[in-house]
Structure 1
Amino acid sequence: MISLINGVSVKIKIIVQNIVAVFFANLLMGCASQLTSHGEAIAQEAGAGKTQIQRKRPQLPIRSKYFASQAHEYMYKAMVAEIARLRGNHALAAKYFFDLATLSRDPQLAERATQAAWYAQKYHLATKAARLWIDVAPNEPKAQQFLVNSLLRQKQPVAEVVTHLEAMFDNLKDEPQRREAMMEAMLERQKDRRALALMKQLVAKRPNDPVVLLTYARLLIKVNQLDQALEVLRTLLSDVPDHAEAVPLYAFLLDKQDKRALALQWMKQALDKYPDKHEWRLTYARMLADSEQFEESIKQFQQILSQFPQQGDILYALGVLSLQTKQVSAAKGYFLKLIENGERLDTAHYYLGQIAQEENDLDKARYWYSQIKEGANYLNVQARIALILIKQGQLDRAIEHLRAVQVSDRKDAISLMQLEAELLIEQKRYYQAMDAYNRAINLKPDSTDVLYMRALLHEEMGSMAPFEQDLQRLLALEPENINALNALGYSLANKTERYEEAYGFIKQALDLGPNNYYILDSMGWVLYKMGNCAEAIVYLRKALAKQNDPEIAAHLGEVLWVSRDQYAAKEVWENALKAFPEDEKLRDVVRGFSPSILGETGEGKSSVFTNRCSFEK
């Protein structure tokens, strides 16, 4: 009898390993779809014999009437289990693999049964299969891991889970990293309270186990029990003072508790004792940089570089820190070394371009920027190249460059058109700028940004009708766009006599942004236009208090002047001229009312007023 069972086991293994045979696969796909009939009867028969199988040496159950022999029956089950697994029917696969594993006591079949039950979320069966797997392969950590996870999913007592965890740890005593990974994966699936209860019991059983203590400390950090986490790490470090992960984690905890100085001191002392711990030094260097102790950070990075001279990340860090500390020559050297090593090429080219641009070596800057063909800085450097060309007096070439930039994303194309328009506006080439905006709108008709900018250009060109059309179109898309509401209201107040309509738009904007200084200025201005000077002064003073702006000062001074408070008006204008002596709009307003403030001759507007606010300009 025993030899027959062994023979069946060998055949099962062969069948499972060679399941790809086309004839059998096609045949059994049909069989697997009919398992609700005689297949279930077979499973019941196999289940009836499981108690007997577990109590003593494996015995064959009573032969099913559907098969010529027991060997055929078990070959059939093996094939059905594998086909079910391949077709994603893990529950059925688990049931048949478990029957076969129980009979054959083969570790591979027990493993397949466990995995299939786990995938099917049949945790009770997964637990039984994992126990069988451990029984036939006592030293297999994966079996113990599956058992622990299955018990946890069923919310079994923590004490039983800990028992099996300890067994898993014993089998992995020489593999701490694997133990740590298994523990982290297990705890990720648990709620914090249950995970803490589990770890407390495990720590009680293994109070000096570095993996257990480190895992417990990380869990405590996750639930924000930082003081307790520090205590756990102190226990760990008292036994293993050079623990690779615990030392920087301790510093991290101190820093997290706003004890940056202590964290830096801790890392310095650790490196004094263990100067060859390069990962610690890297952590220390980064912490120093984050604390803006750039010079000391550079020293630490340089020590690392002396051991790893080709390390791209270290060269990059030193290049950036050197720029931060105005050591431009050193920064160039680090970035050039990056290029020589073929690492972080776009970043190195970008910084070298910036350095050359700041040194006013514009041709070299363009050269470095032109080396960047893609990536996060690609659009940025195209804009920089265009700006350099303009600085060199080559506006038309700058525009040609922008139009020649190849982009696949519509958003990027629109950004380039917007930049083109802005450059042209700076040179007062308004019609060409309008053409750029029109092309952008054709590309994306509902672009609110472009509609807004095109509206402002229409206003600048004196075209109020298309100005209003663009802003009304924008507000149809975004009714609460405060910039559009404010711009439309202010322009209607400033360039038409539709004051009530203007007030409505500005009021909506102010409701949405009550602390925006430019909207407060607009409200003050429209109230002035409507004859409510006292309230206008309140809004304008509030706006000027929030932002010292020459246009706001010009407005406030004008309202004060026509309200017969000339002394206050002069004071506002004089202070504004000290801060913005070259602002032409401010100077024009002051010149119109009191040219003597500018040291100019001539008469300003009349100083004789009626009892109400005057609108004479």
Structure 2
Amino acid sequence: MQLLVATEKLDELAGPLKELIERQPEVERSPVIAGLPRFLAGVHDKAQALSVSQTALAAYLDAPATRTAARTSLGRLAAAAQQSDLAMDYLQQAHRDDPAAAGPVLLALDLMGPKPEAEAVVKDYLARPDALAPLRLAYVQSLEQRQRLVDAVAQLRLAVAQQPEMAQAWLSLGALLTELQEPREGIQALDRYLALQAAPAADAGDASDDDNQDERLRRTYDYACVVQADAHEQLGELKEAARWLDKVPADRTDLALLVRRASLMVRQGQVDAGLALVKNGAARDNPDARARLLAQAQVLRDAGRQQAAFDLLGDAVKQNPEDSGLVYEQAMLAEQLKQYDTMETLLREVIRLKSDDAQAYNALGYSLAERDLRLDEALKLIQHAVALAPDDPFILDSLGWVYFRQGRADEALKLLQQSYAARPHAEVATHLGEVLWALGQRDEAMRYWREAQRRERDNTALRETLQRLKVKL
């Protein structure tokens, strides 16, 4: 079988595969069948791999001991062959055969992209009292990848309620709550993680699996400290934030951590010190000149020195005109400086250099919509961004906003509600509130605006919207 797969002679594979399964003791057949997609993962003709497997597994599709493994494996092979409808059929039958089986749930998580209805299998399984905690965490990871952070938090709450000693779940919960600008609750979750996971020893080795495990624990602990710092910074507790960052030793400090430290310095008026830190500070990941330059631009932006950041990136772009990342960052600074013609030129250059950059399409379309200009063009740009990144709630927010600018308030409302449900950001709440205000639902609009203010008191979009509409919260 290995030789046939290696030489891509799949037309000869069905017989040996069937015989191999038949030779296994009955209790071992399902694991062998379950491993088939991994065994065939490297073949080029995915459709033929599926067809061969369908022939070999035909006798096992109805046997109670093997039918779930067989259908799950065929579902994976169908998915690999881009036959998502067939994969969904196999998935649903496998789950009906054995609602407690983990294999179909893992397949459903992989299918959620092309077949959103696969999520129903995951939810049905997780409603069971005997649902495995690792599968719930896998679902959380899938939700995070789709930027459905509110749903991910809900699942993590269930996970820690069912298994309060699960340290990783507390860490993930704390990180997501902090990202959603719920710092107080985030700190509570992080404290629980740190109580369960003692600080690791300082020295690290790399000669054994135990040493590698120790290093992973150190990195995770460092991450928890950084998130604690972020949460305290959101609360304006800068000294406490700095104290948490200082818990990460110098030999484990990377550039991202230097940027966080520099951000705290900026908020305390130490801009030059912050710049010097990201420019020359020691970092374990040995960042290159480009990374250092972007970090300096970030510090300047945080300090309100947008022109200096724009000029710094401009010099870099002159030396590296094909670097779409640098061009994009300069475009965003041009927008902050209200140099809209320059911004548009730069974003169109990003699109030329990287035609699949959803953020560039979205940024240009949103800027046009925000200024109530060329709305048909703005809509096309944002729709293209949605096609490239359909799960991005901020791009959905842009689409809702351009609809509102076009006078399509009811359509805008649905999209903005969908965006806010996935990612309740202050700016999305601001847009949602304005649409509700325009529709005459003023109490509901005020509720969203108050929520935006609670999450981010100094949000520029919220402040300007309230001033323009002459609203006081």
Q: TM-score w.r.t. structure 1 length?
A: 0.40
Paired position in structure 1 for 2:249: 369
Residue 222 (str. 1) matches residue 21 (str. 2): no
**Alignment check: 8 A CA contact 1:475 1:484 kept:** yes
1:222 Cα deviation from its structure 2 partner: 3.3
**Alignment check: 8 A CA contact 1:424 1:433 kept:** yes
Paired position in structure 2 for 1:396: 272
The aligned amino acid for 1:487 is: A
Paired position in structure 1 for 2:201: 335
1:470 Cα deviation from its structure 2 partner: 0.6
Paired position in structure 2 for 1:451: 327
> CA 1:254–1:461 in 2, change beyond 3 Å: closer, same or farther?
closer
**Alignment check: 8 A CA contact 1:540 1:552 kept:** no
1:495 Cα deviation from its structure 2 partner: 3.6
Paired position in structure 1 for 2:351: 475
In structure 2, how many angstroms separate the alpha carbons of the residues matched to 1:473 and 1:254?
A: 50
**Alignment check: 8 A CA contact 2:433 2:448 kept:** no
1:453 Cα deviation from its structure 2 partner: 2.3
The aligned amino acid for 1:573 is: A
Please, which runs of 5 or more residues in structure 2 have no aligned partner? Answer: 4-11, 37-56, 67-99, 105-124, 134-158, 169-188, 230-239
In structure 2, how many angstroms separate the alpha carbons of the residues matched to 1:296 and 1:486?
A: 39
1:467 Cα deviation from its structure 2 partner: 0.5
Matching of residues 342-491 of structure 1 within 5 Å: 343=211, 347=216, 350=219, 353=222, 358=228, 360=240, 362=242, 365-366=245-246, 368-372=248-252, 378-387=254-263, 389-390=265-266, 394-404=270-280, 413-438=289-314, 440-442=316-318, 444-491=320-367
Alignment length, in residue pairs?
317
In structure 2, how many angstroms separate the alpha carbons of the residues matched to 1:585 and 1:346?
A: 42
> Does 379-388 or 220-229 show the bigger shift?
220-229
Please, which runs of 5 or more residues in structure 1 have no aligned partner? Answer: 1-120, 122-154, 156-187, 204-212, 230-252, 265-288, 299-321, 599-617
In structure 2, how many angstroms separate the alpha carbons of the residues matched to 1:392 and 1:556?
A: 34
**Alignment check: 8 A CA contact 1:414 1:443 kept:** no
> CA 1:325–1:554 in 2, change beyond 3 Å: closer, same or farther?
closer
1:472 Cα deviation from its structure 2 partner: 1.0
**Alignment check: 8 A CA contact 1:410 1:443 kept:** no
1:539 Cα deviation from its structure 2 partner: 3.0
> CA 1:432–1:217 in 2, change beyond 3 Å: closer, same or farther?
same
Paired position in structure 2 for 1:36: none
**Alignment check: 8 A CA contact 1:553 1:576 kept:** yes
1:428 Cα deviation from its structure 2 partner: 0.6
> CA 1:291–1:413 in 2, change beyond 3 Å: closer, same or farther?
farther
Matching of residues 575-590 of structure 1 within 5 Å: 575-581=447-453, 582=457, 583-590=459-466
1:263 Cα deviation from its structure 2 partner: 9.8
In structure 2, how many angstroms separate the alpha carbons of the residues matched to 1:227 and 1:328?
A: 45
In structure 2, how many angstroms separate the alpha carbons of the residues matched to 1:470 and 1:522?
A: 20
Paired position in structure 1 for 2:419: 547
1:427 Cα deviation from its structure 2 partner: 1.7
**Alignment check: 8 A CA contact 1:518 1:543 kept:** no
In structure 2, how many angstroms separate the alpha carbons of the residues matched to 1:459 and 1:519?
A: 17
In structure 2, how many angstroms separate the alpha carbons of the residues matched to 1:586 and 1:544?
A: 15
In structure 2, how many angstroms separate the alpha carbons of the residues matched to 1:407 and 1:327?
A: 25
The aligned amino acid for 1:395 is: V
Residue 194 (str. 1) matches residue 194 (str. 2): no
**Alignment check: 8 A CA contact 1:507 1:523 kept:** yes
Paired position in structure 1 for 2:108: none
Q: Percent identity?
A: 21
Matching of residues 120-131 of structure 1 within 5 Å: none
Matching of residues 242-391 of structure 1 within 5 Å: 293=163, 295=165, 325-326=192-193, 328=195, 331-332=198-199, 334-336=200-202, 343=211, 347=216, 350=219, 353=222, 358=228, 360=240, 362=242, 365-366=245-246, 368-372=248-252, 378-387=254-263, 389-390=265-266
The aligned amino acid for 2:448 is: A
The aligned amino acid for 1:335 is: A
Q: Deviations over 1:555-610 (max 9, x none)?
A: 5665676x7x5x33x23431222312334533433343344x54xxxxxxxxxxxx
> CA 1:579–1:503 in 2, change beyond 3 Å: closer, same or farther?
same
In structure 1, how many angstroms separate the alpha carbons of the residues matched to 2:286 and 2:410?
A: 45
In structure 1, how many angstroms separate the alpha carbons of the residues matched to 2:29 and 2:403?
A: 66
> CA 1:470–1:191 in 2, change beyond 3 Å: closer, same or farther?
farther
**Alignment check: 8 A CA contact 1:517 1:543 kept:** no
In structure 2, how many angstroms separate the alpha carbons of the residues matched to 1:560 and 1:367?
A: 46
Q: Deviations over 1:304-337 (max 9, x none)?
A: xxxxxxxxxxxxxxxxxx98854549712x4358
Q: Deviations over 1:356-382 (max 9, x none)?
A: 664838468447431238xxxx44444
> CA 1:336–1:215 in 2, change beyond 3 Å: closer, same or farther?
same
1:545 Cα deviation from its structure 2 partner: 1.6
> CA 1:410–1:542 in 2, change beyond 3 Å: closer, same or farther?
farther
In structure 1, how many angstroms separate the alpha carbons of the residues matched to 2:284 and 2:197?
A: 37
1:454 Cα deviation from its structure 2 partner: 1.6
In structure 1, how many angstroms separate the alpha carbons of the residues matched to 2:298 and 2:415?
A: 28
In structure 1, how many angstroms separate the alpha carbons of the residues matched to 2:314 and 2:223?
A: 32
**Alignment check: 8 A CA contact 2:364 2:381 kept:** yes
Paired position in structure 2 for 1:52: none
The aligned amino acid for 2:355 is: P
**Alignment check: 8 A CA contact 1:254 1:262 kept:** no
In structure 2, how many angstroms separate the alpha carbons of the residues matched to 1:389 and 1:438?
A: 25
The aligned amino acid for 1:473 is: E
**Alignment check: 8 A CA contact 2:369 2:375 kept:** yes
1:461 Cα deviation from its structure 2 partner: 0.6
- Write out the 4+ residue segments of structure 1 that deviate beyond 6 Å after TM superposition: 213-217, 224-227, 257-260, 289-292, 406-411
